[in-house]
Structure 1
Amino acid sequence: MSAPERIPSQQGVSTQEVLSQGELTVVGRITDASNAVLYGQVELAGRRLRCVYKPVSGERPLWDFPDGTLAEREVASYEVCRALGWDLVPPTVLRDGPLGAGMCQLWVGPAPEAADFARGAESLLALVEGEHPEPGWKAVGFAEVAEGRTALLVHADDARLRRLATLDAVINNADRKGGHLLPLPDGRLHGIDHGVTFHVDNKLRTLLWGWAGEPLPAEIRAALGRLADELADGRPLSRRLRELLTEAECQAVRERVAALLAAGAHPAPSGEWPAIPWPLV
């Protein structure tokens, strides 16, 4: 299977336009995903991009999220991330495709057939011996790695991860696993798989608890302040989220942002919901 080439466009079509309007061709399926996750390509005006296509028809029903809403939540996560000013979630759109309406997202990183497709998160997460992390790492908690044996789960004390942890708190991400972290060779970091987000109840479940209770850096507080402004009634982001989420979910986003700004600190586990996803990857 040959990889799609990135061909310069004379018409200057944007990535969003290619994703939303381009001809979508399914190339294969990511087989280890719980829902239907299809690898493909989109092409418009001579520009061809790799993409992920998740049709609504392939979504597995969940007990705590309405059926057929995961694609909209993925798009809403991208819109909120963009409003924060962070390039952490790849461009994501809703569109029709070969299997019906669904989410289409720019593919980042190596192609699925590449040998290092599943690698990358190990530079950001680790299980280590001892009770305290080394410098440059933050402790999350102890995990059982064998019968009667535990190891300390740690993540990098990385500014990109810290922004992602803040985004997860805003969107109420219930499933931030290690496999959802995609660091790229050029220094960028992307987070993917944001379907179980925006619930009105506190469901934050993540591997990025290392900053729990610590003050939010000034640049994150500033980003949250900008987001609060964009969530006000009548603003474009507020109108867009109402197209993707319920009114109660939109209100819950505003309340979570206000709570983060009022506390001035990263949230801690509530104790009302499992704090760490399983499996870890």
Structure 2
Amino acid sequence: MTASYERLSSTDAMELLRTGDLAVAGRLTDASNATLYCTVSSGDTAAACVYKPVAGERPLWDFPDGTLAGREVAAFAVSEALGWGVVPPTVHRDGPFGEGMVQLWIDGDDRVDLIGLSRDRTHEGLRRMAVFDAVINNSDRKIGHLLPTVDGHLYGCDHGVAFAEDYKLRTVLWQWQGEPLEPGALAALDAVHRQLERADSPLSAELRRHLTGPEVYAVRRRVDLLREHRVHPYPSPDWPAIPWPPV
């Protein structure tokens, strides 16, 4: 029996993703890198998931080869440290085509107009996602990477091209640029700051595992700047502000 994400606690989902048997069911052909739809199972429990093997990553000029899967796992670690659940449970493990990223599959609410959602100024989850993207320096927040669920929660996916040292924030979520960060966002950033200050924290350990030393330092610097200026960031004048295509 395949369990949906609603029936699995985060702890159970992570254990299943780490240790379950991974079976490939098909490929998501719209993805630029190899992205496989799978079932992960253990005993009587099974769930749908996405598996992105490192071997299927397309080389990029501005990111080291073979690092995109690890960056997706690092993005999950930041999401957990913020306490917002922006990223579905995600692990780095071996699979049928070698090591890669495995992430719990999220059934999006197909009744939601994603273009309309991406322009919403009142959606709390969307505004939190804008802050999350600023922390991880997401260079590819497209409309199609928004995953609203039927229970009202908002997830995001495809965070492989993130955590660059240079400021490369590209997103469709610029509607709050220059506006004050909300108190809840500042509290979440303070929590991340405290974890980054401790070398033995789960967040610090996960970032060191998947990012370079300068990239980890850049995460700390971005968090410090957000806490210092207390506003949503502006686009860079030296980098395209919106990914292409935006959808």
TM-score range with shorter-chain normalisation?
A: over 0.9
- What residue identity is the alignment partner of 1:229? R
Please tell me whether the aligned partners of residues 36 and 55 of structure 1 are also in contact (alpha carbons under 8 angstroms).
yes
Tell me the equivalent position of 1:6: 3
Tell me the equivalent position of 2:178: 213
Tell me the equivalent position of 2:83: 85
Aligned-partner SS, 2:2: coil
- What residue identity is the alignment partner of 1:6? A
Q: CA deviation at 1:100?
A: 0.4
In structure 1, how many angstroms separate the alpha carbons of the residues matched to 2:225 and 2:121? 26
In structure 2, how many angstroms separate the alpha carbons of the residues matched to 1:102 and 1:35? 12
Please tell me whether the aligned partners of residues 242 and 250 of structure 1 are also in contact (alpha carbons under 8 angstroms).
yes
In structure 1, how many angstroms separate the alpha carbons of the residues matched to 2:232 and 2:157? 21
In structure 2, how many angstroms separate the alpha carbons of the residues matched to 1:108 and 1:34? 19
The structure with the largest helix share of the pair is 2
- What residue identity is the alignment partner of 2:81? A
Please tell me whether the aligned partners of residues 112 and 148 of structure 2 are also in contact (alpha carbons under 8 angstroms).
no
Q: CA deviation at 1:236?
A: 2.6
Please tell me whether the aligned partners of residues 178 and 232 of structure 2 are also in contact (alpha carbons under 8 angstroms).
yes
Report the CA distance shift for 1:80/1:241 in structure 2 as closer, same or farther (over 3 A).
Answer: same
Query: How large is the RMSD of aligned CA atoms in angstroms?
Result: 1.8
Is residue 263 of structure 1 aligned with residue 229 of structure 2? Answer: yes
Aligned-partner SS, 1:231: helix
Q: How many residues align?
A: 241
Tell me the equivalent position of 2:39: 41
- What residue identity is the alignment partner of 1:67? D
Is residue 226 of structure 1 aligned with residue 163 of structure 2? Answer: no
What is the aligned counterpart of 2:169 among 204, 209, 214?
204
Aligned-partner SS, 2:3: coil
Structure label with greater radius of gyration:
1
Tell me the equivalent position of 2:117: 124
Please tell me whether the aligned partners of residues 233 and 239 of structure 1 are also in contact (alpha carbons under 8 angstroms).
no
In structure 2, how many angstroms separate the alpha carbons of the residues matched to 1:64 and 1:76? 18
What is the aligned counterpart of 2:210 among 244, 251, 256?
244
Q: Deviations over 1:208-228 (max 9, x none)?
A: 000000000000000000000
In structure 1, how many angstroms separate the alpha carbons of the residues matched to 2:130 and 2:174? 8
Please tell me whether the aligned partners of residues 120 and 183 of structure 1 are also in contact (alpha carbons under 8 angstroms).
no
In structure 2, how many angstroms separate the alpha carbons of the residues matched to 1:252 and 1:64? 16
Please tell me whether the aligned partners of residues 121 and 127 of structure 2 are also in contact (alpha carbons under 8 angstroms).
no
Report the CA distance shift for 1:68/1:23 in structure 2 as closer, same or farther (over 3 A).
Answer: same
Please tell me whether the aligned partners of residues 121 and 176 of structure 2 are also in contact (alpha carbons under 8 angstroms).
no
Aligned-partner SS, 1:198: coil
Structure 2 residues not aligned, in runs of 5+: none
Q: CA deviation at 1:33?
A: 0.6
The two structures have a TM-score, normalised by structure 1, of 0.82
- What residue identity is the alignment partner of 1:238? S
In structure 2, how many angstroms separate the alpha carbons of the residues matched to 1:42 and 1:107? 10
Report the CA distance shift for 1:188/1:121 in structure 2 as closer, same or farther (over 3 A).
Answer: same
The structure with the largest strand share of the pair is 1
In structure 1, how many angstroms separate the alpha carbons of the residues matched to 2:18 and 2:111? 27
- Percent identity for Structure 1 against Structure 2: 54
Q: CA deviation at 1:121?
A: 1.6
Q: CA deviation at 1:118?
A: 10
